[in-house]
Structure formats: structure tokens, C-alpha cells
Structure 1
Amino acid sequence: MGRIVSDENNVIIGLSIIIGVSVGLGSLVFRFLLEGARTLLFEGLAGPEGTSTYFLVILIPAIGGLLVGPIIHFFASEAKGHGVPEVMSAVALRGGIIRRRVAMAKALASAICIGSGGSAGREGPIVQIGSAIGSGIGQFARMSAQRLRILVGCGSAAGIAAVFNAPIAGVMFALEIILGDWGIRTLSPVVLSSVLASVTARLAIGDKVAFRVPEYHLVSAWEIPIYSVLGILAGIVAVLFIRSLYKWEDLFESLKIPGYLKPAVGGLLVGAVGFFFPQIFSDGYPAVNEALRGHLGLVLLLALVLAKIGATSFTLGSGNSGGIFAPSLFMGAMLGAAVGSIAHTFLPNLTASEGAYALVGMAAVVGGTTHAPITAMLIIFEMTNDYSIILPVMLCTAVSTLVSSQMNRESIYTLKLARRGINLKRGMEVNIMGSIAVETIMVKKVETVLASQSLADFLKFLQQTTETSFPVVDDSGRLIGVLSLQDVREVLLNESRAGLEQILIAQDIADTDPATLHPGHTLNDAMMKFGKRDSDRLPVVNPDTRELLGIVKRSDVINAYNRALLSAGR
């Protein structure tokens, strides 16, 4: 059996290596397509600001939309929008199966959209492209649903690592957002894929960081309240962005025109905004660098926050293809720089320059939109190669995420799924988990221990079983507690209790306040209690008499969930 498990793990590791290198190469192709589209469509047609043809910037995003619309409408509808929710749905509901054509469609559509000035980022596209590559390789190798999900996570981590040169953030993104699984069997292949994708990309384009910033520090303790205010404002901006995006998505859905023409309408609106605020075109990184260096005025900074929210809502709400990560970074940088500018004006000797606040604001808005604060913090550190301002980044991101989650329970990713009736938690659909009662999957024949059984007799009993924890019951079958090997080990290692094996009984050393389930509880209830108690087995009892009815195992819950998905045809 050990040899079989070892061979299976080796296969996963081997495939994760292939995925990492493949996604790294794929990211280079995506970069080439994006830069080619930008040169051909945006720079080639409009020219620099101030030239006689610059007015064409109003039309270029619409031209891009005319090209993107048919690709998405006729070839791969999954490529519509920012892409990450589609990957989350595939992991939770389809066992990690993603159509192979999605990678090609997403790469082409996103490159055209961003290259023509559409207000979107590269994170969503490369996550979906990487995930599709991982899924395709896993399907070719005939992996089970459980392993296929891991390989999809490998692909998404590799995508983030390759495009943003951020392997640690790539791992956290896959674990925190896509998979919701931190187990060692998941972590190891995801780390491998992320590292190899980053190395592959670096070999081709060098070890570059997206933003080069001066070294900032926390100047004084007086800045803590200011950063806290920035965190609150960032959370509000994140919620405003989420609500605006889906409001415009609803408006475009209600338009009585063919779906493949809607991206062009959105592109026309983006062009109109961009004519007055050209900083919002594409990912907006040049403007972010300007904000980090403190080169933008206060009024312009505030105007750009609103302009970027509108432009991104027009782009993605109309059905164009791109990510929300870069727009969130942009909004955070502008908001942070604005707050920093005000603070530094009134407290010049007690505060850092506005660039420091721009950097912190970037992480804060990303955390607020994605509800993934760890990923937000790490990706900022890796994109700037600057860890000197870590405390304000941590504080501000935590506050922003808290404010955003209180105002909007769903993140920008999960809200899209919730609007379809899909409620995900830790990578599983709560609606399905909540529809299955534990009494339908519990094991009724359970090895139990009498409360009056001596420790010596229990030790003899352990030699005849492979279980590691046992319900302790009285003579009438009522649950008294749960006795585990860990409980016994603590007693045996306690010198003050040496020689008491004949005196101590099971009830003396058992956990007499264990987590329990009732027959009417759902699988979702069970998973929540498994997480709180870090247990793999929970007793099921009669809620009135506490009579032991059976045992529910974590593995049985997951198997029942997978069977429900198959029977539902998902």
C-alpha cells in the first residue's frame, strides 16, 4: 500500500513540474500577444498624446471589443469577464475539468482587450490560462477528480508566479482563493509549479519587479491611525468597485443587442473616459509608478480612483476579458497617494511621503476586493521587492478586508458565483453540502469504550484495532465523551500517574465535552465542526437523550459531496 501511495505522489509531483514549466512558457506567449496587440491597436492607431490622431483613443477600445466579442460568444463563453470565478467553479463543481479551448480563447481575448486599452489586468487571464493548462495535463494523464483539482491549483499558482514574478503570492493565491486546501499533499505540488513557472519566465525576461519604489519606513507611531483610516477608506473603495462592476454587468445584460457586440459598447465608454484620463487605459502601471514616486496631484489622484472604477466596470461588465487585480492595485495606489498627500501636508515631520501610502493602499484595496489579505500583502512585497513597510501593509490590508467583508459578505470572485446560486466555502459548494443530512452517511456500527473500562483493559483493546479515537458510552449507550490515543499518551507520559493503569477508567481521561452532530445536521455543519476541532471523526447522537447513533468521518463527507456532484450531472 505504501508503494502505491508513493507512486501516486510521484506522479502528481512529476505533473506539477510539467505544469510549472508549461505555464511559464505560456505566460511568455501571453505577454507576446498582449504587447503585440498594444503596439498594433493602441500605439499604432492613436499615437502619443497631443498628436493629431490621438482622438482615436475613444474608438480603439471599441475596436478591441468588436474583436473580443465573437471570440468569447462563439468559441469559449468561459473566457468572459475576469475568469477566476470560472476556475473556482470548475474546482468545486466539475472536479477540476476545464475545456482545453479556454486557454487559447482567454489568451487571445484578454490580449486584445488589454492591448486595445481595456481597463483590466493580466491576473485573471493568466490564472484561467494556467488552470486550463493544468486541467488539460491532468485530464490527459487520467487523474481522478481530487488530483485534478490540485493540478488546477498548480496551474493557477504558476500563472500568478510567472506574470507577476511572485512565486510565494502565487502559492497563496491558489491555496487561499482557488482550492481552500492547505494540506501538505496540496501544498508541495503547488509550490513546485509556482517556483518553476517563475524560474522559466525569469530565464526569458530577467528578474524584474513590476514597480520600483524608494525604500519607505514607518516614520512615527502617529502614522498608525492614518494608516487605519486608509484601511477603512480602501475597504469602502473595494466595496464600491465590486458593486459598480456587477451593477454594470446587469445593465449590459439587459441591453437588447447581440452578446458579441456588447464588449464594443463597453469599449466605447472606456475610450470616452480614457480620452480625459488616459492613465486608466490597460493595467495603468505607468500611472501607479507615478503615484509611488509622488508625482501626481491630489485632485487628479481622487479623480483617477473614480475613473478607474468606472472604466473597469465598463470593460468587464460588458463582457470583455481581463482581470481585476491590476485595477485594484491602481485604485489603491491613487487612494493611498491621496491620503498620504493630505497627511504629509499637515504632518510633514511625522509622516512618510505619499508614495509610502500609495504602496500600502495597493495591498489594502486588493485585500478588500478579493477577501484574500495574505495574498494581497505578499504580492505587493514581491512586485516591489520591498519589505521595509511591512507593518503598515499588514495593518491596512487587515482593516480593509474586515471593512469590506462586513459591508459585502462576498468577495469580487465569490459574488459572481453567488449570483448564479453557487455558494462556495473552502472550495466546496455550500448549497450541496447543506442539502445532505449526516444520518445518510454516518457509520452505525461503531467501536465504543465503556466509561467504566480500566485504562489497562483499554490498552489491550488498542492492540486489536486500527482506529485512533473512540466514543465513550455508559451502560445505556449514552455518549460520555471521546477517548483518543493522544489522551492516553498524555497519561502514560505523566510520571505522576505512573502505575495507575488499573485505577484510571476511560471516563477519567476522555474528552467529556466533544463536538457532536445530530442526525438532522448537514454535511456543511459537519465540515464546520471538523475545522473547529481539527478532528477526522465526529459522533452522532440523539439530541434529546445523547444516545450514540453512529460516527461521521471527514472522508465520508467528502465522498458524499463528490457523489452528489456526479448525480447532479455537474
Structure 2
Amino acid sequence: MLEQVRATLRFLNARGIAIVLLGCIVGVIAGALVTAMGWIVQTMHWLLFGLQPGARLSAMFSLASPWQALIPAIGGGVLGLSVAYLRWRRFRTPIDPIEANALYGGRLSMTDTFIVAGQTIISTGFGASVGLEAAYTQTGSGIASWIARKCGLRRGDVRILVGCGAGAAIAAAFGAPLTGAFYAFELIISTYSIANVAPVMAAAVSASLTTAYFGGIQLPLDLGTLPPLTASQYVPYIILGLIAGGVSISIMRLVTLVERFFSKLSVDATLRPVIGGCIVGLLGLITPQVLSSGHGGLHRELAMNYELYVVAQLFLLKLIASAVSLGSGFRGGLFFASLFLGALLGKIFAAGMGILSPEVGIDPLVAAVIGMTSLAVGVVGGPLTMTFLALESSGNLALTGVVLAAAIVSSLLVREAFGFSFSTWRFHLRGETIRGAQDIGWMRNLTVGSMMREDVRTVSGDMTVAEFRNAVPLGSTQRVIVIGPEKKYLGILVVAEVHARHPDPAGEHELIADLAKYRDTVLVPTMNVKAAAEAFSRSGSEELAVVQDFVGRKVVGLLTEGHLLRRYAEELDKVRRDISGER
């Protein structure tokens, strides 16, 4: 049965239809799972914090009881137990959709998916200041990857379907298909082309419709009617985008500093979320708006006008709560937290401009929307993603232009001054060099071991020049590898150069090991194509020996620069065809 399905998909895939149909299926599943996870977390809030049905935790003015401040710490304990179990079972660090598409051709583990989703639900369900978006995108992408691999799709199509899953999840979470689609294009697939627009849009629309059918849209941002913008107001709003970019860099660095602080404590990693939960609970006593992702708090802030000091205080408290939550080990992301913090930053900017230059007439709600998208662009990435979020939330096309301008300014500042989004920054801290979801996994898989020749000509280093000339006639081969005891690499000889040496009776007894070149430059089978190309460039040789390791230096093969460049060009052409949609 499975083989029949795969055969049908191969037939449809030749016409570009299969990936669109699978995108619709992924969208429906992602929409249903987003609805289910949102319902689970909301139910936990109702039970743990005593909320009324339909109420939001971060929209509360105060906790019903001071004892509820201990709930995040209890959640930290539960999360710590899960960390201890995973450590006991020796599970590796879960791979997220960006990393999977960049390094592994879209291959995601369902085990990783369950771990991320479960820990994120625990974290935000018990009130930690993190969002569910990490669980949404991980689940959507994980399901998509599993379906793609079961259907036997090729590498490029697997990556597209993973983007479909992540984009569908965001579309379902915000009831915004264009936002979800461009989240996939900019952050997960890392490119936009005619080949991927149809499946990604199909997935995003299907997810939005599914979530709407189940009544599970996560409080879409309804901004109502916004005032018109004048040309003179563009400059202040672009300045706001620049400020938001700088603040987003500070936020990412703050999270890193808090994480390092917790790692330096003489406390086991399983207990750190408990400490973080205590701190978040204490902040929740001041205002519950810092708890959980902040959906209710954002809507409350957009609907009401508070004094400057109140908004500034909430900004600092939410920032500390999010940094402590992530730094202490709670699972989640900064997607919605960055939207909330950006809206607060926009209101702070509007209040400040009202004091410094009241004649400009900065509207607090417009500033909140621009601050929200600009800060989110700096932290999450994706200028078009956040611009479409503003467009679909407000329905105001005139607002979209200034939002896009501010978002681009924020993105440029972060890229030039910092170089990472929050996700790629965390990869960088782990030692990875990923700057986005661009497919570089094929480059890592194209190793020296897969390209080298094993049938290499070798000669012993204790052979004399005369013996070499007899054993290796001119024209029999171009180069030979000189080896010592146990096939240890001693260098490379160019046969023509040895035969061209001036006949000298004394020189005939010279050992060929003394004539060998490139003694210090070798390759190992695990080197990728990039590292090997750099070795060829440094040495200037057209051929290099491949040794088992750098210590024993036992010769196992030979690689030519011409073959390396040809294989690199072939793989690069495959990537180009995947991007352009050529079959």
C-alpha cells in the first residue's frame, strides 16, 4: 500500500502537484495540533490560576492568591524532572526546523518534536514567560518531515514541506495565512520562489481554515481603525525601527548573560528552572502580565492608555521575566514576547515624542504596532513576515508601508551590528555557524572520504632515486605518495620532476623521502568540501594525500582538486535546481 502511494506521489511530483497536496494535508494537521496545544495550555491556566473561562492569564490585574506565585516554580520542578529523565536516557539536544533545513535536508525526529512540544506546554502552562510558538513550529515541521520521508520525497521537497509545517503553525496561531507563509519563506526555507509558493500558501490557508473551524485562533491582533499617516511622520517611525533593532540586540545578549549566570551557579540543571520559576512568580505578584506568552497582556496594552512610568515598568518586568525563564532552562521562544515588548517600546517612544516634540503627533497605537513588528524582526527575523502580520491584523494598507520601512531598518541594524536572529544566535553559542536555513548540509555531507580514490600508488621512503626511476618509469603515473613504516605519510613526489633531475652519481643514492613535497598538508576522510578546498588553496598542489587521522598519518587515499571542484559544482547545481523548481 505504501509503495502504491509513493508511486502515485512520484507521478504527481513530476508535475509539481504532489507537494501542494501534501502541503494541504500538513496544514490541516498543523491547524488541529495548534488548536489542541492552545486549548491544553489555556485549560492549565484556568485550573492552576483559577481563571474564568475565556479569561487570559496575562490580562489579569493581579493574582487571585499570593500562593499562585509558586506555580511557575512548581512548573520548573516538573520541567526539571523531564530534563533528568532525558539525561538518564541520554537524549541529544533536539533539532529545530531551521537547523534541520540547514544541515539535515529537513530531517526532523518525532522524538525531538514530542520533547519540545511537551516541555514548552509545561513551561507556558505553569506561567513561565515564554511563548508556545516554538512548540507550534516544531510540531508542524516534525509532522511534515515525517510525512515527507514516509512518502520518499527528495531532499529539496522535504525542506519545502518542513517550511509548510512551520508556516502553517504560525498561520494557525495568528489566523494570518500570509504571515505564516512568509515565516516559512524567510525563516525556514530561506528563499522565495515560484516552486515553493503554491505548497506553502496551501498549507498556511488550510491551517487557518482548520483552526477557525475548531474555534481555536489564538486571539488574533484586532487593532481596529488606525489614524492616517502623514509623510512627516515616517522619519520618527523609522527612528523607532532603529531603536527597536538596538533593543532587540540587547534582549538577545541579556538572555545569554542570564543563561551564563545560571550555568555558573553550583546548582544542577534540573533545579535551575525551579529557581527561575521562583523569580518569575515574584514578578507575577507585581503584575501577572509578565506571565506566560502575554496574549492577554498585549491586547490589554493595545486597548488602554497607561502613564509612561507604568508602561516602562511593565517593559522592564516582562523583559526580566522572559530572560530569566529562558536563561534558567524553561522551554519556549521569544516570538510573542518580542511582539509584546515591541508594543510597549512603541508606546514608550510615543510618550517620549509627545514630551520632546508634541507637534509631530505620534499616535500611541500606531507606534505600538510599528514597535511590535520592528522589535520582533530584530529578535525573530523576517521583515515581510512581521509586515504581513501588521497588515492582516489591522487591515490598514497605508500602515504597511511605514511598518515595512521600520522593519527593514531594524533588520539591517541587527544584521550589520549583530549578525544573528535569536534562533541562529543560540546555534552560534553551541558552536554552529548557521546564519539561516540555507541548505548547507549537502556541503557537510560531501566529505573527502566520499570523494577520494583508494587505489593510490605508493613507494617506500627508503628507496633511492635510482631505484625509484627503475620502479616508476616516466609516463606510468603523474604522482606517487611516499610512505614510511606502517604506511605513514611522508610526502608526494612528482614523477616527471624526479626523472628530470640531472644525472649525478652521488645523487642516484639520495633517498626519495628527502625530495617529497607537501609533507605537512594532508586531508582526512571527515573533512567537508569547504575545508578540503581551503587545504588545496593553501598548498598549491593539484593532489593531496588522505590519511586516516592527523596523529598516525596512515595513508588511505588520494584526492585531486579537479575532482573536488567537479563534485562541488554538481551538488551546487542540484541546489540551484531545487530553488528554481526545476525537475
Is the TM value for this pair above 0.5? Answer: yes
8 Å CA contact retained: 1:161, 1:197: yes
**8 Å Cα contact 1:294-1:354 kept in structure 2:** no
Match for residue 183 of structure 1 among 193, 197, 208? 193
Alpha-carbon distance in structure 2 between the residues aligned to 1:201 and 1:80? 32
Residue 377 of structure 2: aligned partner: 367
Structure 1 pair 4–290 and aligned structure 2 pair: CA distance change class (3 A): closer
Match of 1:491 in 2: none
User: Do 1:230 and 1:339's aligned partners in 2 also have CA atoms closer than 8 Å?
Assistant: yes
2:79, 2:119 within 8 Å by CA — same for their partners in 1? yes
| Matching residue within 327, 333, 341 for 1:323 | 333
Find the partner of 2:38 among 31, 37, 51.
31
1:196-233: CA deviations, max 9, x gaps?
Answer: 01110111117786222242234433322321221121
Query: What residue number does 1:140 align with?
Result: 150
Q: 1:221 to 1:78 in 2, by over 3 A?
A: farther
**1:205 paired residue among 189, 202, 215:** 215
The answer to whether the 8 A contact 1:294-1:355 is kept is: no
In 2, Cα distance between equivalents of 1:379 and 1:79? 36
Structure 1 partner of 2:539: none
Paired position in structure 2 for 1:517? none
| Kept in 1: contact 2:172–2:217 (CA 8 A) | no
Match of 2:413 in 1: 403
Does the alignment pair 1:192 with 2:202? Answer: yes
Inter-CA distance 120–98: structure 2 relative to 1 (3 Å threshold): same
Q: From the superposition, tell whether residues 137 and 297 of structure 1 become closer, same or farther in structure 2 (CA, over 3 Å).
A: same
Tell me the residue number matched to 2:478: none
Query: Out of 402, 406, 411, which is 1:392 matched to?
Result: 402
SS at the partner of 2:114? helix
* Cα separation, 2, equivalents of 1:395 and 1:41: 42
Structure 1 residue 60 corresponds to structure 2 residue 67? no
Change (3 A) 1:49 1:347: closer
394 and 411 in structure 1: CA distance in 2 versus 1, 3 angstrom threshold: same
Give the C-alpha shift of residue 426 in structure 1: 5.3
Specify whether residues 307 and 208 from structure 1 end up closer, same or farther in structure 2 by C-alpha distance, changes over 3 A only. closer
Q: Is the 8 A contact 1:219 1:350 kept in 2?
A: no
Which of 340, 346, 351 aligns to 2:350? It is 340
TM-superposition CA deviations, 1:335-384 (whole Å, max 9, x none):
10111123235555541421111111000101111232111211222234
Code of the aligned partner of 1:74 = Y
- Alpha-carbon distance in 1 for matches of 2:99, 2:287: 36
Distance 1:70 1:389, change over 3 A: same
Cα separation, 1, equivalents of 2:91 and 2:261: 20
Distance 1:523 1:175, change over 3 A: farther
Contact 2:173 2:217 in 1 (8 A): no
Distance 1:279 1:525, change over 3 A: farther
Is the Cα contact below 8 Å between 1:436 and 1:523 reproduced in 2? Answer: no
How do 1:189-268 residues align onto structure 2 when only pairs under 5 Å count? 189-205=199-215, 210-268=220-278
2:122 is aligned, of 108, 112, 119, to 112
Which stretch shows the higher mean deviation, 425-434 or 154-163?
425-434
The residue type paired with residue 179 of structure 1 is I
CA deviations 1:155-190 (Å, max 9, x no partner) are: 101100111111111111111111213233333222
Three-state SS of the structure 1 residue aligned to 2:259 is: helix
**Closer, same or farther in 2 for the Cα pair 1:260/1:334, shift >3 Å?**
same
Match of 1:379, SS state, is: helix
Matches of 1:57 and 1:388 in 2, distance apart? Answer: 44
Match of 2:20 in 1: 13
Q: 1:211 to 1:299 in 2, by over 3 A?
A: same
C-alpha deviation, 1:242, in angstroms: 0.4
- Where 2:149 maps in the other structure, the secondary structure is helix
Match of 1:129 in 2: 139
With 236-245 and 181-190 compared, the bigger mean Cα shift is at: 181-190
With 370-379 and 204-213 compared, the bigger mean Cα shift is at 204-213
Aligned residues of 1:217 and 1:389 also touching (Cα < 8 A)? no
Secondary structure of 2:420's partner? coil
User: What amino acid is the match of 2:33?
Assistant: G
Larger-Rg structure? 2
Alpha-carbon distance in structure 1 between the residues aligned to 2:92 and 2:341: 22
Is 1:281 paired with 2:291? yes
Q: Take 2:229 and 2:389, find their aligned partners in 1: how far apart are those partners?
A: 23
Change (3 A) 1:344 1:107: same
Provide the secondary structure at the position in 1 that maps to 2:231: coil
Which 5+ residue runs of structure 2 have no aligned equivalent?
A: 1-8, 452-527, 534-541, 543-561, 577-583
**Cα distance, 1:75 vs structure 2:** 4.6
Q: Partner residue of 1:488?
A: none
Amino acid in the other structure paired with 1:311:
A
Equivalent of residue 101 in structure 1, options 81, 93, 111 = 111
Equivalent position amino acid for 2:27 in 1 = G
Provide the residue aligned with 1:557 in structure 2.
Answer: 572
Which moves more between the two structures, 64-73 or 117-126? 64-73
Structure 1 stretch 395-404 or stretch 208-217: which is displaced more? 208-217
User: Does the CA contact (< 8 Å) of 2:76 and 2:123 recur in 1?
Assistant: yes
CA–CA distance in 2 between the matches of 1:75 and 1:7?
39
Given the superposition, is the C-alpha separation of residues 259 and 359 from structure 1 closer, same or farther in structure 2, using an over 3 Å criterion?
same
Query: Do the aligned residues in 1 keep the contact of 2:529 with 2:568 (CA within 8 Å)?
Result: no
The runs of 5 or more residues in structure 1 that have no matched partner are: 442-520, 527-541, 543-547, 562-570
What letter corresponds to residue 27 of structure 1 in structure 2?
V
- The change in CA–CA distance for 1:206 and 1:98 in structure 2 (over 3 A counts) is closer
Cα drift, residue 126 of structure 1:
0.4
C-alpha contact (below 8 Å) 1:39/1:115 kept by paired residues? no
8 Å CA contact 2:98–2:437 kept in 1: the answer is yes
Identify the match of residue 71 of structure 1 among 55, 73, 82: 82
Look up the equivalent residue of 1:205 and give its one-letter code. Answer: G
Per-residue CA deviation, residues 121-177 of structure 1 (Å, 9 max, x unaligned), is: 122220111111111222332333333222211110110011111111111111111
Return the alpha-carbon distance in structure 2 between the equivalents of residues 78 and 349 of structure 1: 62
Q: Tell me how far 1:269 sits from its aligned partner.
A: 1.4
Distance 1:143 1:241 in 2: 39
- The change in CA–CA distance for 1:5 and 1:351 in structure 2 (over 3 A counts) is farther
Q: 1:75 to 1:551 in 2, by over 3 A?
A: closer
Distance 1:284 1:35, change over 3 A: same
- 1:415 corresponds to 2:425: yes
